[in-house]
Amino acid sequence: MDPQTGQSGNELEIIEFYIDELLEDGTSYRSYFGMNVAKVLEIIRKPPVTGVPGKHHAAALGTFNLRGRVLPLVDLGLWLGKTNAGEENDKVIVSEFSGVVTAFIVSGVTRIHRMTWAQVEPPGKYLQAFSHDSITGVVRFDERIVFLLDMEHIIGSMDPSVNLGSHAEGVVEQGGAGYTVLLADDSASIRTIIASTLQKANFKVTKATCGREAWEQLKTWEGQAREKNEPITNFVNLVISDIEMPEMDGHSLTRQIKADPAFKAIPVVLFSSLISKVVFDKGVQAGADDQISKPDLPHLTVRAAELIRKYQA
């Protein structure tokens, strides 16, 4: 239980919204989606938009002024390949991901759900492929299914300058030779970018799609180490985990690692776009050895190597 919030460490709140799609036969179909409430700044009516000159993604409608701040406006339905069934009552969700503020048009907003990450299912491979890796989780309610969207992937696909990979340019290759990192992140695009950054610094990387998968991999290595009578550090030297993941979130994964004597030699780094003071404190309580925000990707390899050497010493 978190003493500051009164919530257990693996709880989350998602805001549910929907997109009404116009089908070829003239009827409409409503799809439900969600994102973390902590990343939503506000919900407003659709504002007047100024078009953006030059080449840009079709879903990028332009910009608008929100209390003196110029923000990009994205038609989320269009990005998902849907034709909007009607724009009269559209809502705009203003959100912030990895320090980037973007507004998304949706057909409507329903409610906020409080749940645990254990209630969030990882998407299957077919759903991932069908959605172009834009869905990170599935929540099943009695009357409908809500898909959690990888908003960072969507933003990065439209503007390469805010893509996480752009932050990795200029990373100095150092420190990773001989070290193995277990990387857990539910976003396929972010997993690829972080793994590539670590590999450039000569780390070996094993990837997992969620905390549960990472934990299972750790237990497999533990069994192999026991059978061969070798230290666990012959198999893995560091765990880097996202915080928001289906089935088992990063805080829960960290607590399990730190509670198991078999992994006392393995440091854990939480790496997320959302590290507020409250989230940081939760990471400390879970036992994380370091916490890094995703825009700080260039420093990840250096801090990872330093942490491993510290544990070895």
- The predicted structure's pLDDT at residue 219: 98
Cα(96)–Cα(102) distance, rounded to whole angstroms? 6
Of 129, 161, 193, the residue at which a domain comes to its end is: 161
Segment (H or E) for 100: strand 100-106
- Asked if 253 and 218 touch (Cβ cutoff 8 Å), the reply is no
168 lies in the same domain as 126: no
Determine the pLDDT at residue 290.
95
Give yes or no: residues 140 and 198 share one domain: no
Kindly compute the dihedral angle of the four CA atoms of residues 213, 15, 134, 19, in this order, to the nearest 10 degrees: 150
pLDDT at residue 166, rounded to an integer: 47
> 133-152: per-residue pLDDT in tens?
789 899 999 889 999 998 88
> 303 and 214, same structural domain?
yes
Counting the structural domains of the chain, the total is: 2
Those residues whose C-beta lies under 8 Å from the C-beta of residue 132, and which sit 6 or more positions away, are: none
Say whether both 266 and 303 belong to one domain.
Answer: yes
Same domain flag for 238 and 287: yes
Highest mean pLDDT (candidates 115-129, 174-188, 213-227): 213-227
Residues 15 and 149 in one domain: yes
Claim to verify: residue 123 and residue 183 sit in the same structural domain = no
123 in a structural domain: yes
Q: Among the three residues 116, 131, 161, which one is the final residue of a domain in this structure?
A: 161
Residue 201's domain is classified under what CATH number? 3.40.50.2300
| pTM of the full structure | 0.79
pLDDT bucket at 6, cuts 50 / 70 / 90: very low
Q: Which domain holds residue 185?
A: 163-312
Under the banding of pLDDT at 50, 70 and 90, the label for residue 8 is very low
